[in-house]
Structures are given as structure tokens and as C-alpha cells.
Structure 1
Amino acid sequence: MKGRSTVQLVGDDGFRDLLRSCKREAFHLEVLDSYAEPHEHEPLRRFLDGEPDDYAWFRPWMNIVQETTDRGVAVTRTRIVSVPHTDYTRFSLAVAELNIQAGEDIRYLPRHVAEDVPPDDFWLFDDELVIFSAFGPSRAWSGAVTVDATIAGYCHRMKEQFWALSVPYSEYITA
């Protein structure tokens, strides 16, 4: 039906399939200062306690990013963060080095500079398909996909705005 959105819930497998079908760019806007992903609980605890981590839990993500970037698809991310940083933001800054090694381009934008920040994270694939982050009862991620052109256009404009204001990871951590 013309003019109507279609929305569908996708889990990890569906998300990986979307990354594999992406042609030009997979952009992620992160707006929360903390996440409660079950697979990150123990790594976050180790980080806060100053314990070493082998990052085995992170390898599946690194692999899919590497696979995607090896095909010539850009994987980009803007993280809007509060200053001072939360414990989770400090943790994600440490892990970001692994994202970058896998080929991801991550940028940071202090919340007070961003001004009007949307309430939800999203992924934008090839500026056409949007996945809003939805979190289930366990607080684990499950994305809601929409193919509405108006929503994709709105998300594209936010991507452009926040990307232009954000600072590359290497500059952000040295500032």
C-alpha cells in the first residue's frame, strides 16, 4: 500500500542479513549513555574492576564489520555522549578501538553540542532502510525495521547533521 509504513521486528540474525545486503553504508546513531546488553554485563564489570579482557565476546561483531567493510561498504557510527562520561561510555570508548580495527568509523558528539537529540538509536542502511533500536524484556536489543521513505529521509538528515558536528574517535580520545 502506497504511503504506508511497514514495520517488522528483527533479531540478531536478521540484522546480520541486513548488513550483508547493504551496498554503500550502514550508519548507526547511538544516543543513550548506557545499555544493558546481557552479553556485555561481565565485560563491563571486568572493565570497571580493571581486570583484563580477551574480548572473545566481541569477536562476532568484529567479524561482521570486517566482512562488511571488506566488501567496500562503510560502517559508520556517531555516539552522542554526556559529559562527564558514564561508566558505560568509558567502557565503550575502550572497546571502540576494536570496532575501528575491524573497519568501523566511529565519531563522538557531546550531548550539549548536539542540542535536539532523538530519543532512540537507529541504524540507517544505504539511506533507505531504518532500524530503530528496540529492547526486549531482558533489555537485550531487537530492532524494529521500517521501510518508510519519509522516516528514512528524516534519519538521513539527522545522520548528516550529527556526523558533521561529531569528532573522529582518535581526536576525541586525545582532546
Structure 2
Amino acid sequence: MRQNEPPRFDELLAGARRSAVHLEMRDGYAVQDEADDYRRWRETGERDVDPASPYWAPWVERVRAATARGVVMRRVRIVSEPVSEYIRYEHAGTVVNVHAGEEVRWLPRDQAVGLLLPAVDGWLFDDEQLLLNHFDGDGRWRDRPMELRTEPVLVRAYADAVEAVWDRAVPHDQYEIR
């Protein structure tokens, strides 16, 4: 990472040796890179699930490269039920995440009661580097969208929270949208 520049996800994933875990806790995101796909899904009800499509191919390539070198990629989503329109959209496309090599689980928010959860979404690499994702109230990236943290106490606390969520969460192929 270069001085005074936000961390680059691609560089952190490329450097991962054992694991990359993503914790998602919002019921909606409004990130620009998926705006066209989301709009199309809202208009037609059909989601791009072609791993070779221009939308998915870069992600599929990243995941496959990581998993080919032995990195376990996991994604866990905490969601309110009934789920939001955006979560329906995410769920419809998760088949591609799984196809690429990610393990994905879902935890209904009411089943997270009793867990101490981080305040923000993030990626955890090798239980050593924590890339926090910063969104505004409408789910758009903030001016400085990512923050890299490496303090062992913070990273361990985040990792413990993610594992607690993962243990309660339902595998994607068993989770039914409500």
C-alpha cells in the first residue's frame, strides 16, 4: 500500500496466503460498480449469473486465483427478515460467488442476538489484516471508502466476531429468502 492512499483490495487479496473472509451487515448498498446490474434486475427480475460476463468475470478470476493458491474465501451476510429488495438481488447472484469458489452463509439478524458485532463491514485477510469498508447512510462508498487496520487486538476481536457469526449462519444452499 502506498503512503496516504486508500488500501487496494486486489493487492490484499493477492497477498493472502490462507484466508479471506468478508462480513456484510447492511441491508442495502448503492455502490456504483453494480448500479447497472441492479437496475436491470429491478426492471426484469433477471440477474446476471454468467461467471464469464463482463460484470462477474473479474471477480471470478480473483477468487479462482486466490483459491488455486490455497486461500479459503468465505463471505457471511447478516440480513434483516423479511429481506430487503437489495438482499434479494444479492441472493440471486450468490450462485456465482459459490461457483467461483467462495463459501457463503447467511444469518438472519434476529439470530445474531447476543453476538458482539463490529460496527462496519470488512474483509479479514489471514487473521492479520483488516480492511474496513466505510459507507454512508445510503450505502454509497464514503470519500475514503476503505481503511486498513493491523492492530492485533482489533484484528482478533473482528476475527472472533466473524467466527461467531459464521458458526450460526446458514449455508447459501440452505438459506431461503423470507
Same fold by TM (over 0.5)? yes
**Correspondence for 2:37 among 33, 43, 52:** 43
TM-score (norm 2): 0.85
Q: Are 1:130 and 2:133 an aligned pair?
A: no
Change (3 A) 1:9 1:162: farther
Task: Report if aligned partners of 2:88, 2:177 keep a CA contact under 8 Å in 1.
Answer: no
Give the letter aligned to residue 153 of structure 1: R
The correspondence of residues 1-175 of structure 1 with structure 2, limited to 5 A, is 10-11=6-7, 14-50=8-44, 52=46, 53=48, 55-115=53-113, 116=115, 117-135=117-135, 139-140=140-141, 142-173=145-176
Aligned match of 1:4: none
Aligned-partner Cα distance in 2 for 1:9–1:157: 28
Aligned-partner Cα distance in 1 for 2:4–2:121: 16
Aligned-partner Cα distance in 1 for 2:105–2:124: 16
SS in 2 for 1:83: coil
In the TM superposition, residue 51 of structure 1 has moved relative to its aligned partner by: 5.4
Change (3 A) 1:157 1:92: same
Give the letter aligned to residue 166 of structure 1: A
In the TM superposition, residue 100 of structure 1 has moved relative to its aligned partner by: 0.6
Change (3 A) 1:128 1:83: same
Higher helix content, 1 or 2: 1
Aligned-partner Cα distance in 1 for 2:35–2:172: 24
Task: Report if aligned partners of 1:135, 1:143 keep a CA contact under 8 Å in 2.
Answer: no
Aligned-partner Cα distance in 2 for 1:118–1:147: 15
Task: Report if aligned partners of 2:78, 2:106 keep a CA contact under 8 Å in 1.
Answer: yes
Give the letter aligned to residue 144 of structure 1: E
Task: Report if aligned partners of 1:8, 1:144 keep a CA contact under 8 Å in 2.
Answer: no
TM-score (norm 1): 0.86
Structure 1 unaligned blocks of 5 or more: 1-6
SS in 1 for 2:154: helix
Post-superposition CA distance 1:29-76 (Å, at most 9, x none): 000010111021111111112254464222211110111111110010
Aligned-partner Cα distance in 2 for 1:28–1:8: 24
Change (3 A) 1:80 1:125: same
Aligned-partner Cα distance in 2 for 1:44–1:17: 27
Residues 154-163 or 55-64, more deviating: 55-64
SS in 2 for 1:133: strand
Give the letter aligned to residue 130 of structure 2: V
Change (3 A) 1:9 1:172: farther
